[in-house]
Amino acid sequence: MADLLNMTVGALLDRITDQVGENDGVVYPELDLRWSYREFRDRCNQAAKGLMKLGIQKGDHLAIWATNVPEWLITQFATGKMGAVMITVNTNYQASELEYLLRQSDAETLILMEGFRGVSYVEILYKICPELRAAEPGKIQSARLPRLKNVIYLGKEKLPGMFTWEEVMAMGKDVSDEELAERQRSLHPDDVINMQYTSGTTGFPKGVMLTHNNIVNNARNIAECMKLTPNDRMCIPVPFFHCFGCVLGTLACVNTGTTMVPILVFDPLTVLKSVEAERCTALHGVPTMFIAELNHPEFDRFDLSTLRTGIMAGSPCPMEVMKRVMEKMGAAEITIAYGQTESSPVISQTRTNDSIERKVSTVGKALPHVEVKIIDPDTGETLPPGKQGELCTRGYLVMKGYYNMLEATEKAIDSEGWLHTGDLAVMDEEGYFKITGRLKDMIIRGGENIYPREIEEFLYSHPDILDVQVVGVPDEKYGEQVMAFIRLKEGKSMTLEELREYCDGKIARYKIPRYMQVVDQYPMTASGKIQKFRLREMAVKELELGSTKTGSV
């Protein structure tokens, strides 16, 4: 087991550039863009100096609202060098969500692109900050966003109140290399450098404060689990604003000198083309992404023979999908990772040499230097292998806390430093974990505890089912009933009676769905997490079941 690093994000980029500086560092097939690690580092240095020229100090808060564009990647490592705390903004946010994040995070600088999927980010910003239209760039005085001073626009045209990205890069010429080096030396590996806002599947998003040591070491261990080297090339179609993109993706690559091949916005055909064109050896994605790639009509025409590894994570990984990724895509050494933003984010991961059985039935074992225990949610008692309880973790990976939310932080991290995940899990004798559900996702039907994951895994075995999500819905007699939201394969149909007949005799009667709905897609966060609470809301409304309150432990 390698020792933990004690290193900033900026120092990490410098170290790998010194080692493999002429290797491909960043390749965007869609933009015909190709930078060596040295060229990439030079751009990050220039951007860091430009941000310093703007007056941004170590510890100041800088938010970025954009898809996986090159400027996002540069900003990640530029802030890692000059010490601003980078706040990642969900690309699906609307006005009220953006205002909440900018206010709650005390962001002083915002970098944004024009818009995404028909939504104008620029117009949203002008709506919540009308003073911007008449402001001199760098001197914003906003009633609703009193901390906001700088807005940087990722576009060619000059917009009222905003700097352009090119202007900021040009400002970097006024700051010497020694000034940047001095700033970089002043950073401490335990400083907060990144704030990730939780996806908000329940309640208001919370700003998770992550340090250099949190994310550098987590990315290093993730890379080791995949056996990444400078010879690898990783396709990254998951969004950068989520830990999956910027820790499991970009930072894992920079730890090992692996080439980054980002996708601007996920599209299955673009992913397949990019893997073939760049001979990628690694591919990341949430299960729905892999499902879309495997089921694309043109899948068979692509040569994916270079694929070796990658990560499937973000939501439960269906057994059948995992097997197809390993067999049809050829990614025999693909891994599954499990964790949450609060743990930087990965707690456990399968290894490249784990058996297929391990890969399809567990989320691996704890990363190096990470403690994990399973506890009784009621008593807090540590449980032995084979017993289900709440998974807790401790070590370098635990966040510094939620920004300006002391009570929520104390609820998540106990007095002994254990992070309580809220996930139900079972550990086997060899330290491998199986996630069985969420404490709040558990369905209680007539006193019987039902774990949606178990039913979902069973229903994936049906030949006509493409994807399935199971939730609990209110029931006067039993408290709750089981409902399945099903995506069918093309050209297939199914009735509730047919579904129940398939389940009969194979799973306990109380687990068989009482309700079923065929859907084309699921409500999701931009990071690929399915919002089960929205499915419950849909069910309650359509079935006229009354209260949305569901049972809990």
Omega prior to 70 cis, within 30 of 0: no
- CATH ID of 9-197, from 3.40.50.2300, 3.30.70.2740, 3.30.450.20, 3.40.50.12780: 3.40.50.12780
pTM beyond cutoff 0.75: yes
pLDDT surpassing 50 at residue 201? no
Q: What is the dihedral of CA 534, 540, 541, 547, to 10 degrees?
A: -110
> Closest Cα partner for 276 from 285, 288, 268?
268
Share of the chain above pLDDT 70, in %: 97
- Where is pLDDT greater, at 188 or 96? 188
User: Tens of pLDDT along 267-320?
Assistant: 999 999 999 999 999 999 988 899 999 999 999 999 999 999 999 987 667 778
E strand or H helix at 71? helix 70-82
How much of the chain is in helix, strand and coil states, percent to nearest 5?
Answer: 35, 25, 40
pLDDT surpassing 50 at residue 411? yes
pLDDT for position 546 = 54
From CA 416, how far away is CA 380, in angstroms rounded? 12
pLDDT for position 90 = 87
> Which CATH architecture is the domain 443-543 placed in?
2-Layer Sandwich (3.30)
User: Tens of pLDDT along 317-371?
Assistant: 777 888 899 999 999 999 999 999 999 999 999 999 998 888 888 999 999 999 9
Give the total residue count for the chain: 553
Q: Where are the domains of the chain?
A: 9-197, 443-543
pLDDT surpassing 70 at residue 552? no
pLDDT for position 436 = 84
pLDDT surpassing 50 at residue 548? no
pLDDT for position 374 = 98
The contacts of residue 233 (CB under 8 Å, 6+ apart) are: 24, 27, 258, 259, 261, 278, 279, 280, 281, 282, 306
Q: How many CB atoms lie within 10 A of CB 33?
A: 11
> Closest Cα partner for 202 from 364, 355, 408, 352?
408
